[in-house]
Amino acid sequence: MAIVVQKFGGTSVADAEKIRRAAGRALKAHRQGHQVVVVASARGKQTDQLIADALELNPKPPRRELDQLLSTGEQQTVSLMAMALDAMGQKAISFTGAQIRMITDDAHTRARIQSIDADRIRQRLDEGYIVIVAGFQGVDEKGNVTTLGRGGSDTSAVALAAALKAQVCEIYTDVDGIYTTDPRIFPAAVKMDRISYDEILELASLGAGVMHGRSIEFGKKYDVPIHVRSSLNDSPGTLITHEVPQMEGILVSGATLQKELAKITLVGVDNKPGNAARIFAHLATARVIVNDIIQTEVSPEKANLSFTVAKGDLDDACTALEGIREEVGCESLFVRDDIAEISVVGVGMRSHYGVADKLFRALAEAEVNIDSITTSEIRISCIVDIQQGTTALQAVCNAFELDKPATQRKP
C-alpha cells in the first residue's frame, strides 16, 4: 500500500474547525486506500505567543529552553488532530519528534535531521492507524528537544516521506500551487503543474517563498515528489519532482521580482590574489549574507567588485567594509538601495539559446535600463531601477508567455 505524507501548516490547523478539515482530508486519503502520515505545525499564532512569553522572562532565552518551549505548539496540534480523527471513528495516534526518534544534531533552534526511526510509524500504519507527527521538532542523542528552524515542518514532512519511501509528500497551504510569477504584479500568472527541484530552489532563493530551500534540497536528495496544494479545495497543485525530459522544452518556468535588495560596489580594489577572499571573510564574520557577485578588471592593477545584500543587512555590510577598505586598496564604496532584481528560471536554458536575447529585448522594448546582469546554469538575473521593477517583470512575463500553461507556449 502506498504511503502518503500530508503536511498542514499553522494556518491550516489554526482552530478546531480547521483541524477537523485537515483530519477529514487525511481520512479521505486513508479511505482511498493509502497509508497516511500527517505532519502538523503549531496552531495559528501559537509559536509567536510562546516566543513572546519567553522574551518577557528573558530577552536572550537559552536556545535549548526555547526549543523545549516551542516544541509544545506542535505537540498540541498533533494530539488534537488524533482526537479529531478518533471522533470520526478513525484510529489515529500522535507522535512527538522524540517519540519517533527524529534524531538531529544539537544545534538548537536550527537543528539538522540525522535519522528517523521509521519502524515505529510503519508498524502503526500496518495496524490501520493514521499517524500524526509533530513537525519542526526533533531530539538530539542525549534526549534534548531540538527544533529545525524556518520552514522546519516542511523539512520534517519531506524527511519522513524519504524515510518511509512515501509515494508523495503533500504540502497543504493557503495558495493552490506555485505560480509562474507573483500574481499581485502579473495578474495573468498561471499555476505550474510541475517544476523541477533545481528550478524551485532558484525561485525559492529569489523570494518566491512558497517553501523553504532546505526541504526542497531534502526532496531532491532523496527523490521525494512534493505536491504543493491548497488546503481549501481538491484541485491538484504544483508537483515538484526531479527533472523529466519534457521540462527541457520549457525555456522559462517562472520569473521573480525581488525588491528588498541593495547593491554595493567596491571601486578600484587592488587586483591582487586573496583580496576577494579577505573581503568576503570580513562580511561573513559580520554575518552578512552576500548574493550575486560580479567582479570586473578596470585596469591591470584595479578591479571593481559588486554584490547584492538584503536591504536589512546593508548597514552591517557597510560598517564591515569600512574596516577592510584600506587593506584591499579600495578607492570608494558605491551603494545603491534603489534597485530591484528580476530573474527568469528554467531548465530549458541549458539546451536552448536565445533566452538572454529575448529577455534583454523585452526589457529594452519596455525602456527598462539594466544596471547589471548575473547568470547561473538555469537562471538569468538583471538588476534594474526599483521604479522600473514592476514594468520589467511584466514585460518579461509577456515575452516568455508566463500567462499560459507551459505546453501552450510558442517554442
Please answer whether residues 296 and 304 qualify as being in contact, where contact means their C-beta atoms are separated by less than 8 angstroms: yes
Tell me the β-bridge partners of 196.
Answer: 241
Least distance CB 150 / its own copies (angstroms): 20
Q: Which stretch binds its own copies (CB under 8 A): 32-40, 61-69, 206-214, 363-371?
A: 61-69
Task: Determine which residue in the list 24, 31, 45, 53 makes contact with its own copies, applying CB under 8 A.
Answer: 53
- Cβ 80 to its own copies, closest distance in Å? 6
| Contact call for residue 64 and its own copies (CB under 8 A) | yes
Which one, 95 or 400, has the nearer CB to its own copies? 95
Q: Cell for 322?
A: 569600512
What strand order describes the sheet that includes 3-8? Answer: 92-95, 130-134, 35-40, 3-8, 168-173, 226-230, 238-241, 194-196
Smallest CA-to-CA distance from 132 within 79, 67, 76 is with 79
| Contact pattern from residue 307 through residue 346 relative to its own copies, giving x for each residue in contact according to CB under 8 A and a dash for the rest | ----------------------------------------
Closest approach, Cβ 215 to its own copies, in A, equals 25
CB of 4 to its own copies, least distance (A): 22
Binding status of residue 36 toward its own copies by CB under 8 A: no
Q: Which lies closer to its own copies via its Cβ, residue 57 or residue 277?
A: 57
Nearer residue to its own copies within complex by CB, 30 or 191: 30
Q: Which amino acid makes up residue 92? A: A
Query: Can you name the residues that pair with 133 across neighbouring β-strands?
Result: 39, 95
Q: Which is nearer to its own copies, 116 or 355 (CB)?
A: 116
CB nearer to its own copies: give 21 or 110: 21
For residue 271, state whether it binds its own copies (rule: CB under 8 A): no
Q: Please give the order of strands across the beta sheet that includes 145-147.
A: 113-115, 103-104, 137-139, 145-147
Q: Which is nearer to its own copies, 80 or 378 (CB)?
A: 80
Neighbours of 272 (CB within 10 A): 12
Distance CA 268, CA 279 (A): 13
Question: What track of x and - describes contact with its own copies for positions 140 through 179 (by CB under 8 A)?
Answer: ---xxx----------------------------------
Cell numbers representing residue 248 in the block: 527541457
**Closest separation between CB of residue 49 and its own copies, Å?**
10
- Strands 290-297 and 238-241, bridge-based pairing: unpaired
Torsion, CA 374, CA 376, CA 378, CA 381, rounded to 10: -20
CB of 76 to its own copies, least distance (A): 5
Smaller CB separation from its own copies, 94 or 308: 94
How many residues of this chain interact with its own copies, rule: CB under 8 A? 37
Part in contact with its own copies (CB under 8 A); list of ranges 107-115, 137-145, 156-164, 215-223: 137-145
Asked whether the beta carbons of 37 and 160 are under 8 A apart, the reply is: yes
Task: Report the alpha-carbon distance of residue 95 to residue 370 in Å, rounded.
Answer: 53
| CA–CA gap between residue 125 and residue 114 (Å, rounded) | 23
Nearer to its own copies, 98 or 397 (CB): 98
Smallest distance, its own copies to C-beta of residue 181, A: 39
Q: Which of 14, 54, 290, 386 touches its own copies by CB under 8 A?
A: 54
Q: Would you say 76 and 46 are in contact if contact means Cβ atoms under 8 Å apart?
A: yes
Alpha-carbon separation of residue 59 from 50, 62, 70, 186 (angstroms):
13, 10, 16, 42
**Can you read off the three cell numbers belonging to residue 392?**
520589467
In the complex, the smallest distance separating the C-beta of residue 41 from its own copies, rounded to whole angstroms, is: 14
- Cα dihedral 238, 240, 244, 250 in deg (nearest 10): 50
Q: Which of residues 66-125 bind its own copies (CB under 8 A)?
A: 66, 68-69, 71-72, 75-76, 78-80, 82-84, 86-87, 93-94, 96, 98-99
Q: Does 57 bind its own copies (CB under 8 A)?
A: yes
> In the chain, what are the helix, strand and coil shares in percent, each to the nearest 5?
40, 30, 35
Of 24-32, 51-59, 274-282, 321-329, the segment contacting its own copies by CB under 8 A is 51-59
Cell triple for residue 174? 493557503
Binding site for its own copies (CB under 8 A): 16, 19-20, 50, 53-54, 56-59, 61-62, 64-66, 68-69, 71-72, 75-76, 78-80, 82-84, 86-87, 93-94, 96, 98-99, 143-145
